Amino acid sequence: MALAAPHHSSSSRVLPQHRPFSSTRLVPTTTTTSSSSRTTATPAASSDGINPLQALQKELGMQSNQLDAELKERVEKAIAKLGFRVTVGQVAAAAGVKLSQAEQALKALAYDSLGNLEVSTAGEVVYAFERDFVGKIRQRSWLQRLRPLWKRAVNVGSYVARVAFGTALVVSALLVWLAVIAITSSRDDNRRDSGYGGYGGRGFVFFDPTDFLLIWDPRYGRHSRQRVDSGQNMTFVEAVFSFVFGDGDPNMGFEERRWRALGAHIQRLGGVLSAEEMAPFLDPPSLGRSVRRGSEKYEDESFVLPALIRFNGEPFVDDEGRLLYKFPDLQVVASTPSVRLTASEAKVPLEREWKFSEASPGQQAGALLLGVVNVVGVITLSTMLADPISKLALYRQGLGFVLGLLPALQAYAAGFFALPALRLFVDGRRNAAIDDRNDNRLEAVSLLQSGDPDLAAKSASARKLGSTRIIGRQDIVYTTDKGTEEQVNAQEADEFDRRLGVNRRSLPASGESRRIDDVFGRREQRVQQQQREAEKIDVDWGDRGNSSSSSKRGAAERRSRQRDDDWDRLDRW
């Protein structure tokens, strides 16, 4: 939805227009009256059943369906936190997303929820949403209603995969040792020449693998990393998966947290700050053993580029030659105060190290012991199956399917220890890099707290040049919530008052059907002026002759007509 900001000029005015995002969107119809104008979707033809083609066209026309699910969710939460009346810069800072992403999401959500757009005198756009805008979008789209269910299904499927992997270890160990015992028992029977081919009552113990399924958690539906962060304990089969594959990225939400913290930091400082003030939130280089003298403490400030790209910042030099950075889009807000960060979010975000496993030491020891039992069993079974008689024994005992599973069992046993060993090496390198980045961030915090006079002067200069502009209702010159004709008349009246030096807002409100000159009382002035002219003409008629009075009356009438023409020209202007 593109919107052209109105421009006041004595020669031309550019009026805002509505345009759909793409050709696949249902073209909205706009009804304009003297009082209000609303944009509504053209209703589809009524039918008893659901038209699949129309339903598909409707889903394709929903702009929010084209957004990334995570981006859409973060922007929706930011809109709610900011009070449902936001600017692009506010949402970008509150959601920790790029300005281009925030603008794209706001346009899509405003278009699908029939939100209102407000334009200020400076051409800044404010997006206004209703409190239930998320529910309205979901009511219009089947995909939006099914998305939470799909997310739940993905989480459950992920859990089932982890549990199945852990259960596979138990099943693998059972199958392998069952096969080993069966082959050993068959060899003993052959040596005794008993010809007994079954297990009978020889003291063989049968294990029911389904007993191990009792430790499943069918109510599980959250990501393992989220469960670990929330302090929930693992089941044993989850511990097996954790031992082999780990528990996911411990810094899964780090990027969002640090960009949200940096956006709030920039807004709190008025949109102008130095590289040293952004360093704790970015990836700065090490300052070295000794801090440089002067205002620029970092020899290379290229580490601020990600922030400049994300929030549309621009470098500039102040009067003293100090390099500062300005973020104009984050200086414009629709309301105050902005989003309040929690105590943990307000801190300098630091990365967490990768742990080998979040399972308890006892669970890890159990998984390791069971893995060793399984590996020993696989090696033993593989050695025994080199004898063709052992294969025949498995078939006789009803375990012939183990021969087909043997390659998978061997790969599982090898991977059970190979993958953790590889993770130990990779995680060690990752943690070394994380420690270096965290040390550099903490070093930047110490620099800001050191009280360096050059850095203090640089920060003071940035505070003087920073500012925050709040777009209030009085600054709005156009909104999609009202009719275009009504707003054009109001803009012309305001411009006319500005030239005459009259404050229109201090005058009493008037009816809708009255003309602009009635609002300012010009008709009454005109009538009073005409009455005064008529009184002068009557006096002249009584005191002078007919020829003289006719001449005077003609001059008065010409002056009256000239004055009326002047008023008409002003009205037409």
Question: Cα separations (Å) of 108 from 67, 76, 305, 532?
Answer: 8, 11, 28, 61
> What tokens were used for 525?
């002035």
Q: Where are the beta strands (DSSP E) in 327-473?
A: 332-333, 469-470
What percent of the chain has a predicted confidence (pLDDT) above 90? 32
H/E segment holding residue 244? helix 236-245
| Torsion of the alpha carbons at 284, 288, 290 and 292, rounded to the nearest 10 | -40
CA 376 to CA 550: how far, in whole Å? 131
> Where do you find CATH 1.10.10.10 in the chain?
53-146
- Most confidently modeled of 49-53, 181-185, 430-434, 519-523? 430-434
Is this structure's pTM higher than 0.85?
Answer: no
Q: Which residue would you say has higher pLDDT here, 319 or 157?
A: 319
Alpha carbon distances (Å) from 271 to 278, 333, 369, 406, 463: 12, 11, 58, 65, 9
Single-letter code of the amino acid located at 429: R
Helix (H, G, I), strand (E, B) or coil at 42: coil
DSSP per-residue codes, 145-191: HHHHHHHHHHHHHHHHHHHHHHHHHHHHHHHHHHHHHHHHHHHHHHH
Q: Which CATH architecture has domain 53-146?
A: Orthogonal Bundle (1.10)
Average pLDDT over residues 243-269: 90
**Contacts for 183 with CB less than 8 Å, ≥ 6 apart:** 381, 384, 385, 390, 393, 394
Percent of the chain with pLDDT over 70: 64
Distance between CA atoms of residues 326 and 8, nearest Å: 28
End-to-end CA distance of the chain: 32
Q: What is the mean pLDDT of the chain?
A: 75
Comparing CA positions, the residue from 570, 561, 199 lying closest to residue 394 is 199
Q: What is the pLDDT of residues 515-530, one digit of tens each?
A: 434 434 445 555 566 6
Question: Is 325 in a helix, a strand, or coil?
Answer: strand
Q: What is the pLDDT of residues 56-68, one digit of tens each?
A: 777 777 888 888 8
Q: Left if phi > 0, otherwise alpha if psi is -120 to 50, otherwise beta: which for 203?
A: left
Res. 5: pLDDT tops 70: no
